[in-house]
Amino acid sequence: MDKREHFDLYYQMVLIRLVEEEAARLYQQGKIGGFLHLYIGQEAVSTGLISVRKPQDRVITAYRDHGVAINCGISSKEVMAELLGKATGASRGKGGSMHIADVEKNFWGGHAIVGAHLPIAAGMALGDQYQKNDNVTICMFGDGATNIGYFHEALNLSKVWNLPVLWVCENNQYGMGTSVDRASAVLDIHQKAEGYQIPNSRVDGMNVLTVREAGLQALEHVRSGKGPYFLEIVTYRFRGHSMGDPERYRQSEEVKKWQENDPIGIYRKYLVEQKIGTAEELDRLEEKVKAEVEEAIEFAESSPEPAPEDLFKHVYYEA
Amino acid sequence: MDKREHFDLYYQMVLIRLVEEEAARLYQQGKIGGFLHLYIGQEAVSTGLISVRKPQDRVITAYRDHGVAINCGISSKEVMAELLGKATGASRGKGGSMHIADVEKNFWGGHAIVGAHLPIAAGMALGDQYQKNDNVTICMFGDGATNIGYFHEALNLSKVWNLPVLWVCENNQYGMGTSVDRASAVLDIHQKAEGYQIPNSRVDGMNVLTVREAGLQALEHVRSGKGPYFLEIVTYRFRGHSMGDPERYRQSEEVKKWQENDPIGIYRKYLVEQKIGTAEELDRLEEKVKAEVEEAIEFAESSPEPAPEDLFKHVYYEA
Amino acid sequence: MARITMREAISQALWEEMEADQNVFILGEEVGVWGGTYAVTKGFYDHFGPERVRDTPIAEAVIVGSAIGAALTGLRPVAELMTINFAYSAMEHIVNEAAKLHYMFGGQMVLPLVIRAVGGGGRQLGATHSQTPDVIFAHFPGLKVVAPGTPEDAKGLLKESIRSNDPVLFIEHATLYQVRDEVPDSNYTVPIGKSKIQRQGQDATIVTYSKMLEISLKAADQLVEEGIEVEIVDLRSLRPLDMEPVLESFKKTNRAVIVEEGWRSYGIGAEVAARIYEEAFDYVDAPIRRVAQKEVPLPYNRTLEQMALPQVEDVVKAVKEVL
Amino acid sequence: MARITMREAISQALWEEMEADQNVFILGEEVGVWGGTYAVTKGFYDHFGPERVRDTPIAEAVIVGSAIGAALTGLRPVAELMTINFAYSAMEHIVNEAAKLHYMFGGQMVLPLVIRAVGGGGRQLGATHSQTPDVIFAHFPGLKVVAPGTPEDAKGLLKESIRSNDPVLFIEHATLYQVRDEVPDSNYTVPIGKSKIQRQGQDATIVTYSKMLEISLKAADQLVEEGIEVEIVDLRSLRPLDMEPVLESFKKTNRAVIVEEGWRSYGIGAEVAARIYEEAFDYVDAPIRRVAQKEVPLPYNRTLEQMALPQVEDVVKAVKEVL
Ligand SMILES: Cc1ncc(C[n+]2csc(CCOP(=O)(O)OP(=O)(O)O)c2C)c(N)n1
Ligand SMILES: Cc1ncc(C[n+]2csc(CCOP(=O)(O)OP(=O)(O)O)c2C)c(N)n1
Ligand SMILES: [Mg+2]
Ligand SMILES: [Mg+2]
């Protein structure tokens, strides 16, 4: 990895962080509605993972999707605009925070029903296998999603049909207020892959380079035709499940402990220590990100609402 | 086991066999309608297993339920009458072959949607746990049922809540026309239990005594409060999936090979060799069974149809 | 008479029934430690303990399926689906198991079971999280479907549902939890399958339920200013459906508007209209009108979403059309 | 014109579309080696191979879910649900994913997807296996629901469905597979969302579809003997619902009977009746009648089951009531 690549990863993580901090503010102001699930604390996971996907690899995730969207190349403008429900948003203002997508960028959303996107991911992998290309579908989901039937049906089928899909469990240790041990028969989520004889591993999700390395190997495995692979990435959600979470289910000490493990802080320290970049350079980068986010908000706020007739568009396909 | 117990097991297996051979005949005559799934070849599984359950243990299975029903103590009369849709049938003629039950005998059916009864079984086990008794729920299902989401949700919950349920997979190696290897990620079905860290084992289902022994240990494990146990019992279906199965999916050689392993033949040989009973005694027993089955048919055919007003009964509870 | 919110009414019903009957227990996602995502079961976990207030994995099929099994053993489970949008993930167990087991086995199996689910749009949750699919559940015989519109009915109907020996789908509306109204102090219940006149009038009959009762009452207030007095019949239960009060009112007003939040086609209004024509044909003075959701998946954008949902003005307009 | 069965018609439609377009493939339980439990795909596995005729595990959610995913990549999957009773196990993916993805993401995602499912009662399969729940799927905008009643329509509509870029639920009826009728030899298609007059008459209009078309035609034959000529409109598609031919016919006959196999409450007939009253109120000479299934889970016993299902006599009786 050269300096440019390192800086790009750092840039993406900071961008996700600032976009979401601003989103939280805009939500409080009532400019963003519905549910807003922040990715803050988990930035290293999708940033590291998506950084090693090829453009033709498909990515699909759950509703906690702002970070993944940005990593997939959706501009902060389009993300912000979607959060504000504008016509210029990634999903034209129809999807909102939970349903951001840009199929041109091979990002297939943003899905709000827990686990329901796993069968769809298996199907996209089937589509690529059928068309005999070497694309990989990367499907991300939470620890809580591994307890629903859709997970089981999708993983089983992916093994039976040897589908080119990379299953990525972002284990942030809670499904809303329910800790893994209260919802899952196994604590090490990747153990579930044993029930399907799908090769699997577990890695630290707070270090972007660790994730990147693991992603590289996992993608290689899948791309080489060896079938599905299951990657458990251990991380932590610094904020509530969504806005307005009373957080009765965890101690603030626990949260603090993890915040000391801030993936952005860890990476920044690494970059400076390894002399890949100076503190000043990184500060300048952060300033640039601040400016970009302000622009994005500017863009989103000044963007037009969808036209009334859009209400009836896209119910069915129109040539 | 004393002679009486041995003879009782033998009696049950022969009774199931003859009841079903007669049922097949009545089906051809159009006296039985709907679907008819024969248990022929698998008699040792439920006979051995149910022989070691306590009366307070609950039993629930899928639509291939004639054998289990008889083992649970439902008379051949009530089974036959249900197959003929008579008011005297176990389910008053409303359920038919796939929906035989007698809750007095703690047999909870007879369920026709693949895998859907597993969550219900988990709930019955929850009910007993809640009521602090030491009942066990025995839930039987096929190999094909282990690929549906209901299986996953039920097994996971049973482990998380440490429910007193014995999961029994009757692996007869096909789900309709689909062999295990074409539908399941793992060939040894009990391997799936590893994904939930549920203790498990696999036994031969053609030898009634082997099954009985395995059932005894498994029930002991569950009853002692150690939580769910998963038992895979390997068996084979001698007949088609249901009546009118073209059986394109398997070679007649394969079927023949297994038929040489007839669980009734194996047991009879054992009883004679071990001098537990003479061939003559067993022949006499079989004669008695023949007579019983004729009586059962007699009873079923002469029984009344449900009254027209029964159509509207039982839609909702009536005190 | 205490003035309490819908949320408090539902919470009290659960609390009182759990105090009264050890066999009543709650299971669902976040009902325990969290206190319910809509705070309906706040405080229950500490008071009744983890055995009777059970947090479940995210697995709707086994939430409903295990509730069915527990009910078969004689308990009275109250299963909570965090929202009715997740009921599709438990569809098999709601409409094919709960609704049929009692009948299919000739009455042997008894299912004293309540499935609570909150639905409704209007909060910018997007297409998958904003639905009012009540009608598809009401289509199944063997299931009882209840959807109250006032705190009094919510409390009385939920208690009745918990005491009932049939599977009941109890549908709440997310934007009604704050509604405050009078509730009797007595330990009362409200019978399932009885519609109720919520407002007297003689010019036209509005048939509605749940959230749309609130909208209809607002419309009624506007119409008064124009001298129009509508009578409002609240169905309260969708199955069994009680048409008596509807027909009585209609025979008096000879005009009706049916207001529902869900999609218009194959909705609640179609059945109610068809029944009125079948059973009060000679009393019809004008075509019955239906006010319902536009036939689109609900969009996130607030303006578009509100365009799709039935508004007070739509009801006012429809009433004037039937006059 | 060749005389072929409904089964052959559906089989031919699949075969021809697979021959014409490499992107079309089939997946489902027993569609391959077995040849389809209703023999619809007999011979397909040997001819098109395991890649294009895919036997799946028993896992309806991933059958439909993976078909959705494959469709998103540009393929045209035809997912078979062995029976529509198992569609509840795929409910989330049918009504919440397939029906909404195109809209929710602002038109970005295109789903050229067909879900075939056979339904219907009358074969003593018991409550869980005998349903006609068509209406609950037709309630969802974004989904197209087709249910042909003749071999000609079945073949043409299935081909149209496969070529369509929208998700289509294609509902077949198990007791119609043997029905034999004329089918054009040309490579024709039948448009989705167009009702059709299947019999001319002037005394009353029967609105029906699928299996009930057969029942209605038989009733029509009986009525002729009493000098009554009914016109029969076959809906063919439940969503989009084409009321034009229905209204045209009704404006001529001023009398209507709607015949459906499913349960009466919140059924297809309710919507059709409501629409007729809304759009042809001044033409109504008699209350519109609905013939439908009795509101019970279907029992196994043959006599009881037939009592619950709509019979020719029920249709004849209803027609006489509206005259
Ligand atoms: C089928 C379904 N059930 C319940 C919900 C409500 N819900 C939304 S997010 C969530 C928790 C998911 O936890 P996890 O999978 O660990 O993802 P995380 O939020 O931790 O990223 C729940 C229960 C839902 N969206 N879908
Ligand atoms: C959810 C569901 N899908 C499909 C079916 C149709 N079906 C009935 S039995 C069966 C095969 C089940 O195989 P298995 O679980 O191995 O049991 P076996 O018949 O071998 O005893 C299928 C696919 C069904 N009843 N339910
Ligand atoms: Mg989580
Ligand atoms: Mg099997």
Assess whether the C-beta atom of B173 lies below 6 angstroms from ligand 2: no
**pLDDT, average across residues D164-183:** 98
Nearest CA in chain A to D67: A123
pLDDT at residue C112 tops 90:
yes
Residue of A113, D91, D104, A223 whose CA lies nearest to C29: A113
Distance of CA B94 to the CA centre of its chain: 20
Which of D103, D133, D281 is nearest residue C287 as measured by Cβ atoms?
Answer: D281
Q: What gap in Å lies between CA C297 and CA C305, rounded to an integer?
A: 9
Contact D171, D145 (CB under 8 A): yes
- Residue-level pLDDT at B70: 98
**pLDDT, average across residues C267-287:** 98
Question: CA triplet D178, D184, D190: central angle to 5 degrees?
Answer: 90
Nearest CA in chain B to A198: B185
Q: What gap in Å lies between CA D213 and CA D234, rounded to an integer?
A: 7
Ligand 3 centroid to residue A35 C-alpha, Å: 16
Q: At what angle do helices A43-50 and A3-28 cross, to 10 degrees?
A: 140
Ligand 3 centroid to residue C57 C-alpha, Å: 12
**Tens digit of each residue's pLDDT (9 = 90 or more) over A104-158:** 999 999 999 999 999 999 999 999 999 999 999 999 999 999 999 999 999 999 9
- Residue-level pLDDT at D1: 85
Residue of A159, A175, A99, A88 whose CA lies nearest to A126: A159
Give the single-character DSSP code of C88. G
Ligand 2 centroid to residue B175 C-alpha, Å: 6
Residue B61 sits at φ, ψ, to 5 deg, of: -145, -170
Question: Which two three-digit tokens encode residue A36?
Answer: 């807003």
Identify the residue whose C-alpha is closest to ligand 1 atom 13.
A175
**What is the DSSP pairing of strand D144-146 with strand D237-239?**
antiparallel
Annotated catalytic residue, options C8, C29, C60, C152: C60
What single letter denotes the amino acid at residue C31?
A: V
Question: Which two three-digit tokens encode residue C316?
Answer: 């006012």
Question: Which two three-digit tokens encode residue A43?
Answer: 């930035």
Contact A147, B156 (CB under 8 A): yes
Residue A30 sits at φ, ψ, to 5 deg, of: 80, 10
Q: What gap in Å lies between CA D109 and CA D115, rounded to an integer?
A: 18
- Residue-level pLDDT at C1: 86
- Residue-level pLDDT at C4: 98
- Residue-level pLDDT at A187: 97
- CA-to-CA dists, residue D244 to C110, C267, D147, D247, D280, angstroms: 47, 20, 18, 5, 11
C-beta neighbour count of B229 within 10 angstroms? 24
Ligand 1 centroid to residue B14 C-alpha, Å: 51
Residues of chain A scoring pLDDT < 50: none
Cβ B194–A193 below 8 Å, yes or no? no
- Residue-level pLDDT at A319: 84
- Residue-level pLDDT at D10: 98
User: In which residue are the tokens 């050890």 written?
Assistant: C22
Q: Which helix (DSSP H) or strand (DSSP E) does residue C72 occupy?
A: helix C60-72
Cβ B194–A191 below 8 Å, yes or no? yes
Q: Which helix (DSSP H) or strand (DSSP E) does residue C146 occupy?
A: strand C144-146
pLDDT at residue D293 tops 90:
yes
Contact D228, D182 (CB under 8 A): no
Contact D155, D1 (CB under 8 A): no
Which of A95, A113, A160 is nearest residue D96 as measured by Cβ atoms?
Answer: A113
Residue of C130, C138, C144, C163 whose CA lies nearest to C13: C163
The pLDDT-based confidence of C158 (bands split at 50, 70, 90) is very high
Contact C173, C214 (CB under 8 A): no
Q: What gap in Å lies between CA B93 and CA D127, rounded to an integer?
A: 12
Cβ A98–C126 below 8 Å, yes or no? yes
Which of B112, B148, B312 is nearest residue D129 as measured by Cβ atoms?
Answer: B112
Q: What gap in Å lies between CA A158 and CA A156, rounded to an integer?
A: 5
Q: Which atom of ligand 1 is nearest to the CA of A42?
A: 21
C-beta neighbour count of C96 within 10 angstroms? 27
Cβ D88–C92 below 8 Å, yes or no? yes
CA distance B171 to chain D (A): 15
**Tens digit of each residue's pLDDT (9 = 90 or more) over C234-254:** 999 999 999 999 999 999 999
Contact D58, B147 (CB under 8 A): yes
Cβ A184–B160 below 8 Å, yes or no? yes
Assess whether the C-beta atom of A264 lies below 6 angstroms from ligand 1: no
pLDDT at residue C129 tops 90:
yes
Q: Which atom of ligand 1 is nearest to the CA of A146?
A: 15
Q: Which atom of ligand 1 is nearest to the CA of A145?
A: 15
Half-sphere exposure of C101 (CA within 13 A, CB side): 30
What is the full per-residue pLDDT of chain B (319 aa) written as tens digits?
A: 999 999 999 999 999 999 999 999 999 999 999 999 999 999 999 999 999 999 999 999 999 999 999 999 999 999 999 999 999 999 999 999 999 999 999 999 999 999 999 999 999 999 999 999 999 999 999 999 999 999 999 999 999 999 999 999 999 999 999 999 999 999 999 999 999 999 999 999 999 999 999 999 999 999 999 999 999 999 999 999 999 999 999 999 999 999 999 999 999 999 999 999 999 999 999 999 999 999 999 999 999 999 999 999 999 999 8
Q: Which helix (DSSP H) or strand (DSSP E) does residue B78 occupy?
A: helix B76-83
Residue of C209, C182, C188, C187 whose CA lies nearest to C198: C209
- Residue-level pLDDT at D90: 98
Q: What gap in Å lies between CA A296 and CA A20, rounded to an integer?
A: 12
Tell whether B88 is within 8 A of chain A (Cβ). Answer: no
Q: At what angle do helices A43-50 and A263-273 cross, to 10 degrees?
A: 60
Q: What gap in Å lies between CA C254 and CA C235, rounded to an integer?
A: 18
Show Cβ contacts of residue D5 under 8 Å, excluding neighbours closer than 6 positions.
D151, D177, D178, D179, D180
Q: In 3-state terms, what secondary structure has residue B222? A: helix
Q: Where are the alpha helices (DSSP H) in chain D?
A: 6-20, 44-48, 60-72, 91, 101-104, 134-138, 151-163, 211-224, 244-253, 268-279, 302-308, 312-322
pLDDT at residue C278 tops 90:
yes
Residue of B111, B137, B132, B135 whose CA lies nearest to B122: B137
Q: What gap in Å lies between CA B313 and CA C4, rounded to an integer?
A: 40
Q: What gap in Å lies between CA A69 and CA A62, rounded to an integer?
A: 11
